[in-house]
Amino acid sequence: MTSPRSRPRRVPLLARLIAVLVLAMLMSGASADARERAVSRPAPTVTPIRIVGADPRTVSLPSEYERRDLLELHEESGEEEEEEAFLRPPIDPDARPELVVPSSPETPRPQVSLGRAPGDFAFYATHQYVDAETGDITSGRACEPSIGMNGRISWVSGNWFANVSGDYLANANFVNPANNFGGTALFCCDQVVQYDRTRGAMFWYLQYGVDANGNNIGRLAVSVGQPNQENNVWFAYDLTPQLFGYADSTWFDFPDLVLGSNFLYVTTDIRGAPDRAICMRMSLDDLAAGNSVTIENFVSSTFNIRGTHGAGNTIWVASHVDNNTMRIWQWSEGGSPSSLTRDVDAWFVGSNAPDPNGVNWVGFDQGRIVTAYVAGTSVFFLWDSAEGGSFPFPHARLASFRQSDRQLIRQGHT
């Protein structure tokens, strides 16, 4: 028989057992608020170089030999095979769609409103490009176009090509990014253009090919004012993984540019390094003035991060941890980045939508987040999913989160 004096001793023991169980549950990864500690690489300072591109009105088109070499390099890069490794569970690209099922039951959702992106739309023109305006090198797989417009001046980029127009896109002059700035660096092949109307600055990011040491350059070119933009006059900041302390055989891939109130954000994958991606930011005032800039940054353990357009004073950056989980960073101006993970409905890896000739036009799509923006008090991220389950064809997925705590608000498909 237990004496009355000994009974109170059981209460602390029971409390300790409960605490241990709770701690075990938290450590098991069951928490939806799992965090990845934001890690920064050294914050380097880079100095611009002044470069004048070729006259876009007289530039020659690349030869058939040059085009063939570039496309062969792109096809042999092996990017697709490495990319699928971070998505779990892997799905056989040759699997029959009717036999593919989600890793968790799909929940029917009502029609999702995409929200309203910031800013007013201005319609300029519809322009049908011809081969002479793109150099007939629009990519073997995906065009991935982007555009920056400053009144009548526009710069358009795609995979492998660029062009400039000085008449609201009534006409366009081809610019060959492979040799526009001279030098011996091999160009390949991603590009992004953004225009900052507050400072009159056009930003053009060019991704160069891998050199003999396994490294490459991400060139951030800046042109301020319509005369410089029309005449292809730039200064540039050359960004390399080695600036951030990475060894040889490390290179950037799949970039994006996002404008904030006072910073330009660059996101890109890092190939050949334990860190899979990096988000950098630089002062817009310093970039537009051609000053040396310090590059704040954080790195991610997952590929394919994308930042929200319309960021303002805070940017949200997201990536897929797997096909059921997203990681979302929040980075305010003057603050440090922090991340949370959030569950989303499972989606399908890979895409198959062949045309009547058997060409799979979505074969290059691997579920990357390709669109991110701020609307109201929410942030939105969109990506593509393969066919599977109740979906006979590839389709777009969307998830929106509340800015204040990054809680999932809604998700759906289009």
pLDDT in tens, 10-59: 445 545 544 544 444 444 333 445 566 666 676 777 776 655 555 544 43
Single out the residue of 195, 186, 190 nearest to residue 215, CA to CA: 186
Query: End-to-end alpha-carbon separation of the chain, Å?
Result: 69
Q: Do residues 343 and 330 touch, judged by C-beta distance below 8 A?
A: no
SS3 content of the chain, % helix, strand, coil (to 5): 15, 35, 50
**Nearest partner of 135 among 197, 194, 67, 83, judged by Cα:** 67
pLDDT tens-digit map of 224-264: 999 999 999 999 999 999 999 898 999 999 999 999 999 99
Higher pLDDT, 77 or 245: 245
Peptide bond into 189 cis (omega under 30): yes
Say how many CA atoms lie within 13 Å of 193 toward its Cβ: 23
3-state SS, residue 297 = strand
Model pTM score: 0.76
Pick from 314, 379, 309: nearest CA to 119: 309
Q: Taking the domains of the chain in order of start, what are their residue ranges?
A: 82-114+324-414
DSSP symbols for 300-342: ESSS--EEPBT-TTEEEEEEEEETTEEEEEEEETTS--EEEEE
Q: How confident is the model at residue 133 (pLDDT cuts 50, 70, 90)?
A: confident
Encode pLDDT of 166-213 as tens digits. 998 888 998 888 888 876 568 888 999 999 999 999 999 999 988 888
Q: What is the pLDDT of residues 283-341, one digit of tens each?
A: 999 999 999 999 999 999 888 899 999 999 999 999 999 999 999 999 999 899 999 99
Distance separating alpha carbons of residues 71 and 136, to the nearest angstrom: 12
Q: How much is the pLDDT for 200?
A: 96
